[in-house]
Amino acid sequence: MTTNNKPDAMGRLLYGNGDLYSGQWKDGRQDGHGHMIYENGSVYNGQWRNNKFDGYGTYKHIDGSTISGIWKEGILQKDQKEKRLDNSSDSSRPVMEARQDNDGLISTPKQTSIKVIG
């Protein structure tokens, strides 16, 4: 289904750079629950709004560690937890360490960056 010739339903899109998004679309934007597999092997599964992480979601680094929590406009909020490969977790990190900026880049404590095309 489309609205004004833009996707407005569940769907999948394979970007030219190899990223694959599967999930809900609203007015041509990633909006609702979605799953993004990035070309570099990292994965985000959770809520989206206007092509940004927004709501509960989990970001899995290419090394297997994860960051889970509540995101707002691409910025990880309070109560985030990082699970490392040794199964330890750290919820004492400052809340602004994981951020999706206006250019669609995610910066995490591991200095991993991914590009979100939107």
Residue 114 lies in a domain: no
Residue 14 lies in a domain: yes
pLDDT for res 5: 73
Question: What is the distance between the alpha carbons of residues 17 and 68, in angstroms, rounded to a whole number?
Answer: 25
Rounded mean pLDDT of the chain?
Answer: 75
**Domain CATH for 32:** 2.20.110
CA 42 to chain centre: 9
Domain span holding position 46: 2-107
Structure tokens at 84: 């490392």
CA atoms within 13 A on the CB side of 27: 3
Q: How many CB atoms lie within 10 A of CB 10?
A: 13
Residue 96 lies in a domain: yes
Structural domains in the chain (count)? 1
Would you say residue 3 has pLDDT above 70?
Answer: no
Residue 84 lies in a domain: yes
Q: Measure CA of the first residue to CA of the last residue in the chain; give whole Å.
A: 19
Q: What is the pTM of this model?
A: 0.70
Would you say residue 116 has pLDDT above 70?
Answer: no
Give me the mean pLDDT over the 60-83 stretch: 80
**pLDDT per residue over 14-50, tens digit each?**
989 899 999 999 998 999 999 999 998 999 999 999 9
